[in-house]
Amino acid sequence: MLKQRKKLLFFASGVGLCALLIGGGVSVLRWSLLANRPQSATMSPASGDATPDAIAVKQINSLKSLPPEKRTARLETLVRKERDSQARNRARYLLATEQLQQGQPQKAIEQLQGLETDYPVMAAQVMLKRAKALEQMGDGQAAEATRQELLKQQPTNPATAEALVDLGRNDPKYWDQAIAQFPSHPKTLEIVQQRLQKNPNQPDLLLMVARHGLYLSGYTDYLDRLTQQYASRLTPADWEAIGFGYWEKQLYGKAGMAYAKAPYTAHTAYRTGRGMQLGNLPGAVAAYQRLVNDFPKAEETSLGLIRMAQMLDPQPAIAALDQVISRYPDRAAQALLEKSRLLDKLNNKTAAAQARQTLLSRYSQSDAAAELRWSLAQEQAEAGNLQAAKTWAEPILKQNPDSEYAPEAGFWLGKWASQLGKHKDAQLAYEAVLSQYPESYYAWRSAAMLGWTVGDFMTVRELNPAVERPAVRPELPVGSATLRELYQLGQDRDAWALWQTEFQNPMQPTVAEQFTDGIMRLGVGDYLDGIFMVSYLSQREDQQDRQQYHQLKQQRSYWQALYPFPFLEPIEQFSQERQLNPLLVTALIRQESRFMPGIQSSAGAVGLMQVMPDTGAWVAKNIQLKEYKLNDPEDNIKLGTWYLDYTHTEFSGNSMLAIASYNAGPGAVLDWVAQKGITDPDQFVEAIPYDETRGYVKSVFANYWNYLRLYNPEISQKLAQVSQHHPSDQGS
């Protein structure tokens, strides 16, 4: 199955097939859409949920799940009877949109008549739709006049780019104007691609794609053409844009080479070295050394020294780490931990112990101290010294609560307390994990230990949880009034196009901009990069950015963006047929493909559930499916759920083993069971010998738990009650 990594190989197909981030139909199972659910105590409600405007938006959004004919009828009723002018304007706009899609331009024009005056925030979009309606009616002259009027009235409005593109079909000067005035608009980039197809020798247009076309299919081909054919003509700023593009596409070696020619800053110097290191290119150490020499006070330099130490022999590596320890207090703890490991390799046990003691005494609250404490706790636990293991683990919760090891330590403190007969302590430990780290895999395990109806490894497949999904979209943190309106109306493609012109600093976005960009990507079905953009906010290191990120984590909208619900109908249908928990299937799909139907792994696995072609053929034969396409969502889910049911059958309904088998194959899992047994399933998970599979199992069940805690009323309420008794500033 799919290899686990932060970002996956994305083939730009099927993007338009993805469902809306929010909305969708009423299911044949118990996935009901219920309004006015109570909010978790650890999350804030969506902004404006009780305002009249929000109620109007809720009314509009409730129509998304209806078939086109019923949706049109309901919109017509709203237009006739709605007294609130804002709601009526929205209904008129959406009704005109529906009528255009159904080939009824005359009716659309009736709804659009005078709407730009009544609905000024959408005036440009109204004029564009009127032009399209006139064109559908065969009145090209009137359509052109409408577009010309838009140019006259709103020459700087990004919607004008679309008018320019349409006008350019008859007069190429308008295309030149679009390129000059709106280079980042998707419609403009379509023109650019057409011109490059006719004449590829246009470096200025190639640079436009490099700067603004990151989402385009074949994007890196444009970068390759620039670097191979026009290197001598590129400016340092051009090279930085190219380096950023390669970096975003995970072509780190090429990125490092490009950053080497970019404006010389600590940031580009670091990325030069790191790109060469990740790309296995010579020169990484020299690049890091140059960074150290030229930017001795920069934050990037301390990280560069640690990266460089990873490439050196032990003695020079220790010398590099000593520079970090003496000059960069923010990374000294990490350097001390790395140094202690190198000293162990050199068999210098005394110096290694001294480095660890310095780490624990001087940098007790660091992540490195947490990592050291947890490794020592695990050693004691493996030796059967549970009280000593607790002694090492307990400080992690107190001194390192933000560490990635804290949820795991908290859970095992509960397990060890239970094994020592201290059941009240165990309960308190599990509740603390649920309160402080509610998004973690260990929160699910804690909930199971407390007897919540969340399923355990043997029962989770049988559950069929009720799910409530939000009726109102959250407010976007940034963007124009028009962008926000388009988003609230569910006009995601138009909102995304507008965002491309408003998002001016993709190389250094603010927290709010990065979150908005993720939301925009999700809206058009780019779940891979959308989820990545939202999740990668956790990597911000600037103190102000970290504060903004923690504030964002308090909002339910943040977590709902991380755990969206596309492809509900086929997931529900085939989960029901296979008697599988639909949330478990959703969780696995999120981990395998990030809901991208056209994705393909380097190993050849295809589609939402990352089915290997040979496996797909074998399953198809078993279910007598003669024709299928692995990149078709329904076919892929049909095949993938059958195989997931098969892995459950192979392991007597044990979902942990079934999920592990889905990743590593039944043979490997059978070997592990034979070697280790599964007396304690939690210990078994931690002992899975494949790092990828161990992480995969935890990630799938963490996904399942997050869908459950966010959308299941019972679990959400129980979690809120626990949080009230165990207050924390972790918030999720």
**pLDDT tens digit sequence for 205-226:** 999 999 999 999 999 999 999 9
Is the Cα torsion angle 10, 689, 360, 392 positive or negative in sign? Answer: positive
3-state SS class at 600 = strand
Exposed/middle/buried for residue 269 (C-beta within 10 Å: 0-12, 13-18, 19+): buried
pLDDT of the residue at 59: 66
User: How many C-alpha atoms does 142 have within 13 Å on its Cβ side?
Assistant: 12
How many residues does the structure list for the chain? Answer: 732
Is the Cα torsion angle 674, 679, 681, 683 positive or negative in sign? Answer: negative
Q: What is the band of 40 on the pLDDT scale with cuts at 50, 70, 90?
A: very low
Q: Is residue 731 scored above 70 in pLDDT?
A: no
Which one of 35-39, 69-73, 88-92, 358-362 scores highest in mean pLDDT? 358-362
What's the one-letter identity of residue 542? D
pLDDT of the residue at 5: 32
Give φ, ψ of 495 to 5 degrees: -65, -45
* ∠ CA 109-115-116, rounded to 5°: 115
Average pLDDT (546-566) is 94
Query: What angle, rounded to 10 degrees, do the helices at 492-502 and 481-488 form?
Result: 160
Average pLDDT (128-153) is 97
Output the pTM of the full model: 0.90
What's the one-letter identity of residue 95? L
Contact (Cβ atoms closer than 8 angstroms) between residue 392 and residue 377: yes
pLDDT of the residue at 83: 81
pLDDT of the residue at 64: 73
Residue 589: partners with Cβ closer than 8 Å, 6 or more residues away: 567, 571, 595, 608, 609, 637, 640
What's the one-letter identity of residue 519? I
**35 or 449, which is more confident:** 449
Give the tokens for residue 587: 């969780």
Q: What is the DSSP letter of 170?
A: T
Is the Cα torsion angle 431, 432, 435, 438 positive or negative in sign? Answer: negative
Q: Is residue 34 scored above 50 in pLDDT?
A: no
Contact (Cβ atoms closer than 8 angstroms) between residue 369 and residue 401: no
Contact (Cβ atoms closer than 8 angstroms) between residue 539 and residue 404: no
Q: What is the band of 51 on the pLDDT scale with cuts at 50, 70, 90?
A: low
**pLDDT tens digit sequence for 522-543:** 999 999 999 999 999 999 989 9
Q: How far apart are CA 584 and CA 655, in angstroms?
A: 9
**pLDDT tens digit sequence for 403-458:** 999 999 999 999 999 999 999 999 999 999 999 999 999 999 999 999 999 999 99
Q: How far apart are CA 608 and CA 528, in angstroms?
A: 11
Residue 413: partners with Cβ closer than 8 Å, 6 or more residues away: 390, 393, 394, 397, 425, 429
Is the Cα torsion angle 667, 668, 673, 674 positive or negative in sign? Answer: positive
Give φ, ψ of 137 to 5 degrees: -80, -5
Task: Pick the range with the lowest mean pLDDT from 25-34, 195-204, 277-286.
Answer: 25-34
**Percent of the chain scored above 90 by pLDDT?**
86
Q: Is residue 37 scored above 50 in pLDDT?
A: no
Residue 136: partners with Cβ closer than 8 Å, 6 or more residues away: 100, 103, 105
Q: What is the band of 1 on the pLDDT scale with cuts at 50, 70, 90?
A: very low
* ∠ CA 496-500-501, rounded to 5°: 125
Q: What is the band of 195 on the pLDDT scale with cuts at 50, 70, 90?
A: very high
Q: How far apart are CA 663 and CA 666, in angstroms?
A: 9
Task: Pick the range with the lowest mean pLDDT from 329-333, 465-469, 651-655.
Answer: 465-469
Average pLDDT (550-555) is 94
pLDDT of the residue at 417: 97
Give φ, ψ of 460 to 5 degrees: -65, -35
**pLDDT tens digit sequence for 465-524:** 999 988 788 899 999 999 999 999 999 999 999 999 999 899 999 999 999 999 999 999
Task: Pick the range with the lowest mean pLDDT from 19-33, 42-56, 328-342, 346-360.
Answer: 19-33
555 DSSP β-pair partners? 44
52-180 and 366-437 have identical folds: yes
- Alpha-carbon distances, residue 32 vs 26, 466, 555, 664, 717 (angstroms): 6, 7, 22, 35, 17
Quickly name the fold that domain 1-42+446-474+555-732 has: Lysozyme (1.10.530)
pLDDT of the residue at 61: 67
Q: What is the DSSP letter of 471?
A: S
Neighbours of 38 (CB within 10 A): 10
pLDDT of the residue at 54: 58
Give the tokens for residue 75: 């919109």
Q: What is the band of 31 on the pLDDT scale with cuts at 50, 70, 90?
A: very low
**pLDDT tens digit sequence for 665-723:** 999 999 999 999 999 999 999 999 999 999 999 999 999 999 999 999 999 999 999 98
Contact (Cβ atoms closer than 8 angstroms) between residue 597 and residue 632: yes
Quickly name the fold that domain 52-180 has: 1.25.40
pLDDT mean across residues, the chain: 91
Residue 617: partners with Cβ closer than 8 Å, 6 or more residues away: none
- Domain residue ranges of the chain, discontinuous segments joined by +: 1-42+446-474+555-732, 52-180, 366-437
Q: Is residue 11 scored above 90 in pLDDT?
A: no
Q: What is the band of 84 on the pLDDT scale with cuts at 50, 70, 90?
A: confident
Which H helix or E strand runs over 211?
helix 203-212
Q: What is the band of 82 on the pLDDT scale with cuts at 50, 70, 90?
A: confident
- Alpha-carbon distances, residue 496 vs 160, 260, 522, 695 (angstroms): 15, 33, 10, 33
Terminus-to-terminus CA distance in the chain, angstroms? 30
325 DSSP β-pair partners? none
Of the candidates 32, 41, 86, the residue with the CA atom closest to the CA atom of residue 59? 86
Of the candidates 648, 527, 529, the residue with the CA atom closest to the CA atom of residue 585? 648
Average pLDDT (643-669) is 97
3-state SS class at 654 = coil
Which H helix or E strand runs over 177?
helix 173-181
Of the candidates 725, 718, 726, 596, the residue with the CA atom closest to the CA atom of residue 40? 718
Exposed/middle/buried for residue 571 (C-beta within 10 Å: 0-12, 13-18, 19+): buried
Average pLDDT (43-51) is 43
User: Is domain 366-437 annotated with CATH 1.25.40?
Assistant: yes
Q: Is residue 312 scored above 50 in pLDDT?
A: yes
Neighbours of 511 (CB within 10 A): 21
Q: How far apart are CA 722 and CA 712, in angstroms?
A: 16
pLDDT of the residue at 213: 97
Of the candidates 130, 156, 155, 154, the residue with the CA atom closest to the CA atom of residue 144? 130
Q: Is residue 45 scored above 60 in pLDDT?
A: no
User: How many C-alpha atoms does 325 have within 13 Å on its Cβ side?
Assistant: 21
Q: How far apart are CA 730 and CA 78, in angstroms?
A: 43
Contact (Cβ atoms closer than 8 angstroms) between residue 272 and residue 300: no
